[in-house]
Structure 1
Amino acid sequence: MIKNYLKVAWRNLFRNKSQSFINIAGLSVGLACGLLILLWVQNEYSVDSFFQNSGRLFKIYKTNFDHRVPSGSYEVPGVLADELKRSFPDIEYATNFGFGETSTFQAGNKVVKMKGNSAGADFFKMFSYRLLAGSAQAALNSPDAIAISRNMAEIFYGSPDKAIGKAIKYQNQKNFKITAVFENLPKNASQSFDFLTNWDAFLQNNPWARDMGNTGPTAYVLLRPQANAAAVNAKIAHFFDLYYHINRSTANSYSNIALQPYAEAYLHSDLANGKPGGGRIEYVHLFSIIAVFILLIACINFMNLSTARSVKRAKEVGVRKVAGALRGSLIWQFITESLFITLLAAVIALVLVPLLLPEFNQITQKQLSLPFAQPGFWLTIAGITLVTGLIAGSYPALFLSAFKPIKVLKSAVKLDTGTLFFRKGLVVFQFVLSVILVTSTIIVSRQMNYLASRNLGYDRENVVYLPIEGELSARYQIFKQELLKRPGILSVSRLSSPPVNIYGSTSAVDWVGHDSTSNVLITRAAIGYDYFKTMKLTLLAGREFSSAYPSDSSGYILNETALKLTGYKDPIGKPFRYMRKQGTIVGIVKDFHFHSLHEAVGPMVLVAGENDPAGVVLVRIQPGKTKEALAAMENLSKALNPAFPPVISFVDEQYQQLYQSEQVINQLAHIFALLAIFISCLGLLGLAMFTAEQRVREIGIRKVLGASISSLFSLLSVEFITLIGISVAIALPVAWYGTSGWLQSFAYRTSLPWWIFALSGLLIVSIALLTISLQLIKVALLNPVKSLRGE
């Protein structure tokens, strides 16, 4: 029986070549898209899910209540992990984690920059990264301990075994002893580092992090096996109250801390309302829906074309029923045909996906591959193929098998009103999905363009920075003066951290009238002379720091948001204290962004940092002189700081990195929206071809009676345009609602004017017209004599 079904399916495949091509093309593209998205979604869910004690491993997050309004952050004090472990027996291990750094290491004659971080002695007891040499107990157990990756060990020593116990010079200043070598981090790890230094070393270099009032690092805890996470959450929630002396009944500002499962933190990192909510999980859900949308569009093509061509197969059904075929066997025949076509499409999709994966990986910045060796993969493919084939073939099978043999053998079959309405409804639904995808893509692109063009309060174009390390710290003034003599260099200054993402806050602030029970966090940045000139900031009052004012060592410049907190009306010269250092306000700067536009501008205080030992050198370059300026910076850096290879970063490029996820989503949305339109238009083309074929004689008669080409085209196209118009009317409000919710994740977002939706609708209508016009015009131009003869 199955063999006969397959024979019939094969014959029908070649009998209706155009319909078969459209169905197979649509389904293969839809399945290929679904597979690509499935690989990406599986990879996203696999991130950080491989740790042995994943169920007991948590990330600490903080909920700040400012006048009872919650906001969230992962920034915590640099001593919080140890304090929690000491105070709560249910916490077995705990570690703080630093900001990430690119540092210069030297062993023998090799000098290489590596990316790494700092962590506590418990780190490898909590995170089950594989150790190739050393032990979790001994790794990071002293201030001079360092753990390095296999990659780093092979670069400097040739192998992990040869590296263990060796000394390696850090930043040309300190020798660390290699106490452990870990396997290169897996691809599905959210953390990224080639080395880890001990947390005590971090605190020595960053003494501010010892204060419980200062925040910046992150923290993780591992609960004991018998501990209850909910109970621990309740115990630690008000931990900060003891240190800040907070009375919650009267205080306007205070903070809670809580546990978030570490395996969930990667996908649920949005703390906008004080608790983990959205984040990358929203994009995972979005593209899962898009995959379903695209497959549905392809299935609808199959349903529509099969139903439309039911007239051609009506007599076949009638003859089979007269010969004794039961409806059940006919249903299975048509389902088999659908599954056969879907199977062919799946095979083509499995050929397409490996061809598309390199480009897809480049866009998503992942290393995905088809796991052909895994049985689960083939079961998934089989399941998707089966479900797609059943969905695509179910309605045509039920519809075709229901024909009455006497009726279909005596006269031509006419589709009833219900069937025609259902078919039109499928077209509308199909294009509703396409319009939603296209409109959403346009709005996402508009938001990305908005982020790229928004005034940040400083000019990020033509500004580069170089880390201050080694001899450059002591020779900064020489470097600056010599650099200003070189062509293409407009100004030079310095900053305590890269300008696009400045973190590190404290509540240890005070001013006249300050509520000492509040827990307001203010971000600090140390700046050099000419910082305003280099970054093109706007000074609203007072002055910037200058060598002409020795008292600037205790001076402060506040941004507008910080000024509002103080309540000062005439702030210049007013007292202000930051981290127990009393001083006066010397200037007010117009608010500028120092985080991504997902966050509103927070309060910031700038302090004089011309002689700070670390940070970055900021250089503004003359437009058109980039090549010469970079060469001057590299040559001068090598001359003054030979032990440290210069690494120069562009501020505008680093700014774009803040929106890496959104840029990936933008590119993927473009691609999948185009593919959805392509599949929809394939189906529309098939329906247009069938409609034209069915109305050839009618067109001939109308031409004989004097109908013009334009009137015939209007006659043939009006039904399609009406359906597309209905689709647009339904889809645009849905698209507006969905994209408005997405835009809420940005503190600063583009507007949604009416013309965006009008443009989207016009674009879809134009594409639909273009798709059907060639086929309809071809029929309208036919010689009426041939049309009436049926030639």
Structure 2
Amino acid sequence: MFGNYFKIAWRSLIRNKAFSFINIFGLALGLMCSILIMLWVNDEYSVDRFHSNGDYLYQIYERQYYDGKINAGYSTQGLLADELKKNVPELQYASAMDRAAAPGASSTFEAGNKINKMDGYFAGSDFFSMFSYPLLKGKADAALSSPSAIAISRKMADMFFGDAANAIGKTIRYENKEDLEVTAVFDDLPANSSMQFDFVRSWIAYVRDNAWVKNWGNTSPSTYIQLRKDAEPKKVEAKIKHFIYNYRQKDPASRTELALQSYPDKYLHSNFSDGQINGGRIEYVHLFTLVAIFTLLIACINFMNLATAQSGKRAKEVGLRKVIGAVRSSLIGQFIGEAVLLTLVSIFIAILLVVLLLPAFNSVTGKQLSLPFNYPMFWIILAGLIVVTGLTAGSYPAIFLSSMNPVQVFKSGIKAGWGAVFFRKVLVVFQFSLSVLLIVGMIVIYRQMNYIQSRNLGYDRDNLIYVPIEGDLVKNYSVFKNKAANVPGIINVSKMRNSPTIIEHHTGSIYWQGKDPNLEVSFADGVVGYDFVKTMKLEMAAGRDFSKEFSSDSTAYIINETAAKRIGYQDPVGQTIKWGNHPGTIIGVVKDFHFNSLHQAIDPLIMRLDENWSWGTILIRVQGGKTKDVLTQLEKICKELNPKFPFAYQFSDLEYARLYKSEQVVSKLSGFFAFLAIFISCLGLFGLATFTAAQRTKEIGVRKVLGASVANIAGMLSGDFLKLVGIAFIIAFPVAWLVMNNWLQNFAYKINIEWWMFAVAGFATVCIALLTVSYQSIKAALNNPVNSLRTE
């Protein structure tokens, strides 16, 4: 019996080649989309899930109440990890962690005649006991036990020493100022680790080299803990909530609380709202999961419509089977079996398409995805996808075809009832509602990303180069600046701590006359050099930039407009404020500029002058079109003044773009999936147009005999479908507005959703739908009415 069903299904496929191709291709595209998203979603969920102690790993975050606001973040005190481990018995391990170099920069290592830049962190001695980064050589509890110890990756060991075994016990020079001993070699980190680094240095050295760490009012490092297996996280969280007040006095103007977040959850849930964890990358995971489901549903709806459109050709077969004794359940089984067979063929094509598209998909998403053919679970999921898709796509056609009355079929042919017609129309409306939703979403995301890229940030990020201050450039900065200033094509040179797009340091220790003693305001703080305003092309709202002509500028401050408003001075220039214990005069107010991503509002900013600051970024403003020549000259200067360090640089606009990597991925993927959705939907619309034209053959013939023109008939048939598309607009537009307006709330600076975005989406959809149905409509209208009336 099953063999016979298979033969019938195969013959039906071969006999109706055009419909079979559209059915199979539509399903293949939907399945391809689902498989790609499934791989991406699975990879997102797998990040940081490989740690064997993951159920007990937590990251500390701080909740700060000040200035009438509640903020939260992962920056903590430098000594917090060690003190928590000493005083909280429920903790098995604890480790602080911080970058070894400024954001966007790397550390320089030298061994023998090899010099290279690597990325890494400082971490506590418990680090390798907590996290499952396998050690190829060395012991976890001893790897970071001394200030001169360093653990390196397999890649770094191979690069400098040939292999892991040869690296142990060897000396490697760090930043040309300190010799370190390789105490451990860990395996290269997996792609699904949110931390990516080539080395880890001891936290003992970090505390030794950073005196500010011992001040409990300063924050920067991250703090990770591992609870004992019998510990209750909620009780531990309550216990440590006010822990830092064991080390500093309470301030009536502010309050700081500690809280816990499961470390494996952090990657997907890293956004905060009103001091609470609220979303993050998980929103994109949910979004694309829905896109995968909806796209596959659209493809299944295609199958239903196209299968129903062919029902006239199968009606006599069904009628004959019923006459000779076939029961309805066997007919349903046959047609669902055919759907599963089609799905099987489609999924084979889908896998081929996925293999072809994966390199491009990985390039867009920044992933290293591959089809896991070696994992049995993959085949189980694939089998489940085939069955579910086959049942979803084949259920309605099977029920519809198996319900036919054989007497009616042989007497007058197949006639769809009102319920069947209504159901098919609902399916088309549903298809196009989803398609319009995706198109509107694509437009809004594209516009927001374009807004981000083109928005005036308050400074000119074009033709601005960053060079890290490292090695001998610390002491040779003034020489470098003088030499660089004489290079043709260089307009200005300055410096600052960190970089203009990442000012992470904040302070609450800003005081001014008339300030409420019960009020604490958080200021972003910057340390800059001469010509900073000029080099960045900032605009002054009042006052002036730091200048060598005024020796008093060493104790002066420049603030931004937001800071001036927060302080409340009518004319801030010339007024005195105090930063910690250092009073100074405000010499300038710079117009607000964005020094973080547009996800965040502009904070109050205060800047002081320090030409001798020992780390950070040199800022170089270049004439347009001279970048290549300038970089050649800068490399020569750096090799002369800083021979032990490879020349490193980055462009301001590229660093800025990296702030929106996730959004750029979403923008590209949304465009791709929106195109797929509308294309698959149009295949379904083509099927319905074919079915409708076949159903109304006699009507069309009568209308032509009575004088209806081709244009009249084509317009009549097309108009019915355009009504369905119009209903889809009515449903999709408000849903699209709600979804995209919610997404835009993630940005402090955003576009407005305007009427023309919906108009563009609607016009594009109508045009595509009209082109799709016009072929069948015109074909039906051109048929000879004699042939049409013979169908009786």
Give the TM-score, by structure 1 length: 0.96
Please tell me the residue identity of whatever aligns with 2:85. Answer: K
**Alignment partner for residue 152 of structure 1, among 156, 162, 169?**
156
Q: Distance in 2 between matches of 1:504 and 1:744?
A: 25
Please tell me the residue identity of whatever aligns with 2:12. Answer: N
> Which 10-residue stretch deviates more, 689-698 or 149-158?
689-698
Distance 1:14 1:742, change over 3 A: same
Contact 1:297 1:680 in 2 (8 A): yes
Which residue does the alignment assign to 1:64?
64
Which residue does the alignment assign to 1:455?
456
Distance 1:467 1:507, change over 3 A: same
**Alignment partner for residue 196 of structure 2, among 189, 192, 196?**
192
For residue 277 of structure 2, give the secondary structure of its aligned residue in structure 1: coil
1:208 aligns with 2:206: no
Map 1:542-691 onto structure 2 (within 5 A). Answer: 542-691=543-692
Task: Summarize deviations over 1:666-721 as a string: whole Å, max 9, x none.
Answer: 11111111111111111112222333344455445544544333222211201111
Q: Distance in 1 between matches of 2:660 and 2:213?
A: 28
Q: Distance in 2 between matches of 1:713 and 1:280?
A: 48
Which residue does the alignment assign to 1:508?
509
Q: Distance in 2 between matches of 1:352 and 1:504?
A: 48
Which residue does the alignment assign to 2:347?
346
1:222 aligns with 2:222: no
Distance 1:87 1:560, change over 3 A: farther
Please tell me the residue identity of whatever aligns with 1:55. Answer: D
For residue 192 of structure 2, give the secondary structure of its aligned residue in structure 1: coil
Deviation at 1:760, TM superposition (A): 0.8
Contact 1:254 1:519 in 2 (8 A): no
Contact 2:107 2:117 in 1 (8 A): yes
Task: Summarize deviations over 1:312-337 as a string: whole Å, max 9, x none.
Answer: 32222221111111111111111111
Q: Distance in 1 between matches of 2:292 and 2:70?
A: 35
> Which 10-residue stretch deviates more, 86-95 or 390-399?
86-95
Deviation at 1:308, TM superposition (A): 3.0
Please tell me the residue identity of whatever aligns with 1:32. Answer: M
> Which 10-residue stretch deviates more, 500-509 or 466-475?
500-509
Which residue does the alignment assign to 1:522?
523
Which residue does the alignment assign to 2:403?
402
Deviation at 1:5, TM superposition (A): 1.3
Deviation at 1:54, TM superposition (A): 0.7
Map 1:113-128 onto structure 2 (within 5 A). Answer: 113-128=117-132
Q: Distance in 1 between matches of 2:248 and 2:587?
A: 28
Please tell me the residue identity of whatever aligns with 1:63. Answer: R
Task: Summarize deviations over 1:364-387 as a string: whole Å, max 9, x none.
Answer: 111111111111100000001100
Q: Which runs of 5+ in 2 are unaligned?
A: none
For residue 568 of structure 1, give the secondary structure of its aligned residue in structure 2: coil
Please tell me the residue identity of whatever aligns with 1:16. Answer: N
Which residue does the alignment assign to 1:258?
259
Q: Distance in 2 between matches of 1:203 and 1:458?
A: 36
Which residue does the alignment assign to 1:314?
315
Deviation at 1:79, TM superposition (A): 2.2
Deviation at 1:515, TM superposition (A): 4.3
Distance 1:315 1:787, change over 3 A: closer
Q: Distance in 1 between matches of 2:255 and 2:355?
A: 53
**Alignment partner for residue 140 of structure 1, among 137, 144, 151?**
144
For residue 50 of structure 1, give the secondary structure of its aligned residue in structure 2: coil
Deviation at 1:189, TM superposition (A): 0.2
Which residue does the alignment assign to 1:169?
173
1:416 aligns with 2:417: yes
Contact 1:214 1:508 in 2 (8 A): no
Which residue does the alignment assign to 2:485?
484
Which residue does the alignment assign to 2:235?
231
1:41 aligns with 2:41: yes
1:330 aligns with 2:334: no
Q: Which runs of 5+ in 1 are unaligned?
A: none
Alignment RMSD (CA, Å): 1.9
Task: Summarize deviations over 1:222-271 as a string: whole Å, max 9, x none.
Answer: 12222211001111112344555336xxx453222100000000000001
Q: Distance in 1 between matches of 2:8 and 2:253?
A: 77
Contact 1:509 1:580 in 2 (8 A): no
Q: Distance in 1 between matches of 2:588 and 2:150?
A: 43
Which residue does the alignment assign to 1:468?
469
Please tell me the residue identity of whatever aligns with 2:156. Answer: M
Deviation at 1:787, TM superposition (A): 5.4
> Which 10-residue stretch deviates more, 269-278 or 558-567?
558-567
For residue 351 of structure 2, give the secondary structure of its aligned residue in structure 1: helix
Contact 2:336 2:394 in 1 (8 A): yes
Please tell me the residue identity of whatever aligns with 2:126. Answer: D
Please tell me the residue identity of whatever aligns with 1:124. Answer: F
Which residue does the alignment assign to 2:93?
93
Distance 1:99 1:538, change over 3 A: farther
Q: Distance in 1 between matches of 2:591 and 2:615?
A: 26
Q: Distance in 1 between matches of 2:462 and 2:6?
A: 64
Q: Number of residue pairs matched?
A: 788
For residue 108 of structure 2, give the secondary structure of its aligned residue in structure 1: strand
Deviation at 1:601, TM superposition (A): 1.1
Which residue does the alignment assign to 1:392?
393
Task: Summarize deviations over 1:200-236 as a string: whole Å, max 9, x none.
Answer: 3223443333321122221111122222110011111
For residue 307 of structure 2, give the secondary structure of its aligned residue in structure 1: helix
Q: Distance in 2 between matches of 1:319 and 1:98?
A: 77
Task: Summarize deviations over 1:75-99 as a string: whole Å, max 9, x none.
Answer: 2222222232233222222222113
Contact 2:308 2:691 in 1 (8 A): no
Contact 1:30 1:298 in 2 (8 A): yes
Give the TM-score, by structure 2 length: 0.96
Which residue does the alignment assign to 1:721?
722
For residue 360 of structure 2, give the secondary structure of its aligned residue in structure 1: helix
Q: Distance in 2 between matches of 1:38 and 1:579?
A: 52
Contact 1:244 1:517 in 2 (8 A): no
Deviation at 1:517, TM superposition (A): 4.8
Q: Distance in 2 between matches of 1:138 and 1:757?
A: 62
Q: Distance in 2 between matches of 1:81 and 1:482?
A: 45
Which residue does the alignment assign to 1:22?
22
Which residue does the alignment assign to 1:747?
748
For residue 60 of structure 2, give the secondary structure of its aligned residue in structure 1: strand
Deviation at 1:414, TM superposition (A): 1.3
Q: Distance in 1 between matches of 2:289 and 2:373?
A: 22
For residue 104 of structure 1, give the secondary structure of its aligned residue in structure 2: strand
Q: Distance in 1 between matches of 2:568 and 2:346?
A: 68
Task: Summarize deviations over 1:640-675 as a string: whole Å, max 9, x none.
Answer: 212111111000000000000010111111111111
Contact 1:496 1:609 in 2 (8 A): no
> Which 10-residue stretch deviates more, 494-503 or 658-667?
494-503
Please tell me the residue identity of whatever aligns with 1:484. Answer: A
Q: Distance in 2 between matches of 1:638 and 1:771?
A: 64
Please tell me the residue identity of whatever aligns with 1:475. Answer: N
Q: Distance in 2 between matches of 1:323 and 1:105?
A: 84
Distance 1:488 1:748, change over 3 A: same
Please tell me the residue identity of whatever aligns with 2:498. Answer: S
Distance 1:514 1:167, change over 3 A: farther
Distance 1:11 1:18, change over 3 A: same
Which residue does the alignment assign to 2:433?
432
Contact 2:67 2:521 in 1 (8 A): no
Contact 1:339 1:386 in 2 (8 A): yes
Distance 1:229 1:164, change over 3 A: same
Please tell me the residue identity of whatever aligns with 2:205. Answer: A
